Amino acid sequence: MLASGSTQEAILRPDPGLTREDTLTCIAYGPEMARERYVALPRSRSRHEVEAE
């Protein structure tokens, strides 16, 4: 979405579970995948999972 010209705000607006950090993580992950390397990312619990407790 960012590559097609969407702003971070436009991406974050419809889903309150997404954070600016999520979009930055995607930006960093993309080039790593282009190098044909697998990069393991630790999974953090979503805000929805935390609120459900």
Report the pLDDT value the prediction gives residue 39, as an integer from 0 to 100. Answer: 67
pLDDT confidence of residue 24: 87
pLDDT per position as a tens digit, 30-51: 777 777 666 677 777 777 676 7
Helix (H, G, I), strand (E, B) or coil at 32: helix
Please provide the DSSP assignment of the chain as one string.
Answer: -TTTT--HHHHHTT-TT--HHHHHHHHHHHHHHHTT-----PPPPPHHHHHT-
pTM score of the predicted model: 0.52
What is the reported pLDDT for 31? Answer: 79
Instruction: Give the pLDDT confidence of 8-28 residue by residue, as tens digits.
Output: 889 889 988 889 998 888 888
